[in-house]
């Protein structure tokens, strides 16, 4: 027996196959808010470390500002997910956007007054990342509410694809903006983008499909955290996909963390050679291709079988990147690897949103993100960097290959075991 289709914010049934997402006003406004905010954040990603070095002259401070992007996931991930599940998600997202606009705007304001310090730059980096974490915690449950679970793969791919495009564009124009407006002035663009995002989200007249529980019947904060952890721990397939996502993120941290060194020592691309930008763009362009590919693949394959095919592709492309000395071969292999990487990333996130009850979306998915982005990415970069120093850059890059190969072996091991012992697989 099938359940009646869920209505979106405008009374439509977006999960019906004959209604494209672009005709769902709620999703269209949300998608635009993510694209606008992503463009501003891409500029800040370049401008903030430049500003930190300009104010302090300290490489350590630059590293701390860069690390601030992932640190909140480790420290606040469980808290953010619990808050999102206990409040109105749309209201939480709007408030964090406004707070982020004020936070980022404080930098150009302080610079104009001549009172900007390195400490403030670091505080803003941490505070902005923490606010973005709370925003993301709301997104995990908000998207299924406005598009329905049947269109999650398409919706997530559209959002990730757009964010990848604007990230490339934002990184490309950031240098010119820094020259024109100085690093502090450039951050005003990001503050404006957060304000625009908040206004667009306000235009989504969203009524949550998740009825708010009376405060008296709501479990305590600690028990709410435990509920999310219990669901993730007891759902075998989701638990497996969380491990796969963490291994995948580890490989991404290793690749991006050592790409400059690899280009210099192996490919002969040094300093200001423009080909280094092409390598980074290849990885991002592959992600755009993966965002177009995933909805088509999900129409033909379920989430777990899709991993069985895509993970080995990444494991095979990795050695091509590591062992070649021809930058053109690396360029092509990185593009294809980036596509496989994005497919796995969004596929696992989409599956999690599909199987997680609405009232647990924030807790379950921020926990997953905490393990992948908060631990996987920086740990991959750290391990790869350590091996590069002690053994060589090919050894450092190989950690990405080993990680993705382990993920492929893991899912195939579960598949083989489920065939030999039905009922014991994922």
- d(CA 245, CA 257) in angstroms, rounded, equals 18
Q: Which residues of 238-269 are buried (b: 16+ CB within 10 A; e: fewer)?
A: bebbbbbbbbbbbbbbbbbbbbbbbbeebbeb
Closest CA to 153 of 3, 314, 300: 300
Contact between 295 and 153 (Cβ < 8 Å): yes
pLDDT of res. 217: 59
pLDDT of res. 51: 87
Q: Which helix (H) or strand (E) holds 271?
A: none
pLDDT of res. 37: 94
Q: Return the number of other C-beta atoms located less than 10 Å from residue 31's C-beta.
A: 21
Regions of the chain where pLDDT drops below 50: 1-17, 207-209, 211-216
- Which domains, from first to last, does the chain contain? 21-202 (1.20.1250.20), 221-420 (1.20.1250.20)
Tell me what percent of the chain is helix, strand and coil, each rounded to the nearest 5: 80, 0, 20
Torsion, Cα of 9, 14, 16, 18 (10° steps): 130
pLDDT of res. 272: 63
- d(CA 107, CA 125) in angstroms, rounded, equals 10
Enter the pTM of the model.
0.80
pLDDT of res. 13: 39
pLDDT of res. 271: 60
C-alpha 327: how far from its chain's center?
A: 27
How far the first Cα of the chain sits from its last, in Å, is 25
Q: Assign 381 to helix, strand or coil.
A: helix
- Relative orientation angle of helices 221-234 and 236-265, to the nearest 10 degrees: 80
């Amino acid at each position: 027996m099938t359940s009646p289709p869920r209505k979106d914010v405008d009374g439509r049934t977006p999960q019906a196959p004959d209604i494209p997402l672009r005709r769902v006003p709620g999703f269209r406004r949300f998608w635009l808010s993510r694209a606008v905010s992503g463009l501003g954040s891409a500029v800040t990603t370049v401008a903030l470390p430049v500003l930190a070095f300009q104010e302090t002259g300290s490489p350590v401070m630059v590293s701390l500002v860069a690390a601030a992007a992932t640190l909140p996931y480790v420290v606040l991930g469980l808290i953010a997910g619990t808050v999102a599940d206990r409040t109105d998600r749309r209201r939480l997202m709007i408030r964090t956007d406004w707070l982020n606009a004020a936070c980022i705007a404080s930098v150009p304001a302080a610079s104009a007054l001549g009172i900007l310090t390195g400490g403030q730059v670091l505080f803003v980096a941490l505070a902005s990342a923490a606010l973005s974490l709370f925003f993301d915690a709301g997104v995990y449950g908000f998207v299924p509410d406005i598009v329905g679970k049947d269109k999650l793969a398409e919706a997530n791919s559209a959002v990730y694809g757009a964010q990848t495009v604007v990230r490339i564009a934002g990184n490309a124009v950031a240098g010119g903006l820094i020259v024109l407006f100085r690093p502090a002035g450039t951050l005003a663009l990001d503050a404006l983008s957060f304000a625009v995002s908040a206004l667009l989200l306000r235009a989504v007249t969203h009524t949550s499909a998740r009825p708010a529980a009376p405060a008296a019947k709501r479990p305590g904060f600690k028990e709410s955290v435990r509920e999310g952890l219990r669901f993730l721990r007891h759902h075998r397939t989701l638990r497996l996909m969380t491990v796969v996502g963490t291994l995948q993120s580890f490989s991404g941290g290793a690749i991006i963390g050592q790409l400059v060194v690899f280009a210099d020592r192996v490919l002969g691309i040094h300093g200001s050679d423009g080909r280094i930008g092409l390598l980074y763009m290849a990885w991002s362009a592959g992600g755009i291709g993966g965002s177009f590919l995933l909805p088509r693949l999900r129409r033909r394959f379920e989430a777990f079988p899709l991993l069985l095919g895509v993970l080995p592709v990444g494991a095979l492309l990795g050695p091509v990147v590591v062992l070649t000395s021809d930058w053109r071969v690396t360029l092509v292999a990185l593009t294809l690897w980036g596509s496989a990487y994005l497919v796995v990333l969004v596929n696992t996130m989409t599956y999690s949103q599909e199987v997680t009850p609405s009232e647990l979306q924030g807790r379950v998915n921020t926990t997953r993100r905490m393990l992948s982005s908060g631990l996987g990415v920086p740990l991959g970069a750290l391990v790869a960097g350590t091996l590069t120093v002690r053994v060589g850059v090919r050894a450092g890059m190989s950690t990405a290959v080993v990680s993705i190969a382990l993920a492929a072996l893991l899912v195939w091991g579960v598949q083989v075991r489920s065939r030999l012992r039905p009922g014991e697989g994922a």
